[in-house]
């Protein structure tokens, strides 16, 4: 049975940039030999099965998108076990506000720099965060759209990253678990 992968793209189908029609992407991925391709919301979440390793998959998917759509988005490949670990270790899992109040920022590699002083100076009293080598958990009950900390995150954390809210992360885990049987 092929391994189940969760592929997260950064910066597609938002703000009119980098249009990536999910139906067309699904067709291309199936034609390239990936199995059980499923998409979840248009903002760049694709689940599939494959025997290939992470590096080969990243190159294949990047090439498919570049050839088919004319751009190459940042690609983050995650396994079901990594997603389960991420949810189990969420330091805010027992907080009253869940769903869209909590976000996970997935890092491509450990951050080159984390300026906690800057993050702490920007966060509100209700916001909280925790950073590991693999990701950042964010609790923002007033929403990320209003967060000064999120606005300046690229200055404070030097890492290639993409974020999903807790609802999305849980749904992706559920879909992947169903695919894994």
pLDDT one digit per residue (tens) for the chain, 181 residues:
789 999 999 878 666 667 888 899 999 999 999 999 999 987 789 999 999 999 999 999 999 999 999 999 999 999 999 999 999 999 998 887 778 899 999 999 999 999 999 999 999 999 999 999 999 999 999 988 889 999 999 999 999 999 999 999 999 999 999 998 8
Q: Which of 138-145's residues contact partners 24+ apart within 8 Å by CB, and which partners?
A: 138/102, 138/103, 138/104, 138/105, 138/163, 139/92, 139/95, 139/97, 139/101, 139/102, 140/101, 140/102, 140/103, 141/95, 141/97, 141/101, 143/100, 143/101, 144/103
Distance of CA 87 to the CA centre of its chain: 13
pLDDT at 44: 87
For the four alpha carbons of 73, 43, 176 and 28, in that order, the dihedral sign comes to negative
Q: Which two tokens stand for residue 71?
A: 């751009």
pLDDT at 120: 97
Sheet with 128-131, strands from edge to edge, namely 128-131, 135-139, 102-107, 161-165
pLDDT at 16: 61
Report the b/e string of 163-176 with b at 16+ CB within 10 A.
Answer: bbbbebbbebbebb
Report the b/e string of 92-122 with b at 16+ CB within 10 A.
Answer: beeeeebeebbbbbbbbeebeeeeeeebeeb
CA dist 79 and 181 (Å) reads 14
For the four alpha carbons of 16, 43, 111 and 125, in that order, the dihedral sign comes to positive
């Amino acid at each position: 049975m092929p391994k189940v992968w969760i592929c997260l793209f950064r910066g597609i189908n938002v703000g009119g940039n980098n249009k990536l029609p999910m139906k067309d992407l699904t067709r291309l991925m199936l034609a390239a030999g990936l199995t059980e391709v499923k998409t979840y919301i248009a903002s760049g979440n694709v689940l599939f099965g494959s025997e290939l390793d992470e590096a080969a998959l990243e190159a294949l998917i990047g090439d498919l998108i570049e050839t088919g759509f004319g751009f190459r988005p940042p690609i983050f490949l995650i396994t079901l076990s990594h997603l389960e670990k991420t949810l189990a270790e969420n330091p805010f899992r027992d907080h009253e506000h869940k769903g869209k109040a909590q976000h996970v920022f997935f890092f491509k590699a450990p951050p080159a720099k984390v300026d906690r002083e800057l993050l702490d100076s920007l966060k509100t009293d209700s916001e909280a965060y925790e950073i590991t080598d693999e990701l950042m958990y964010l609790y923002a009950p007033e929403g990320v759209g209003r967060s000064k900390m999120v606005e300046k995150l690229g200055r404070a954390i030097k890492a290639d990253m993409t974020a999903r809210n807790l609802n999305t992360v849980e749904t992706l885990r559920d879909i992947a678990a169903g695919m894994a049987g």
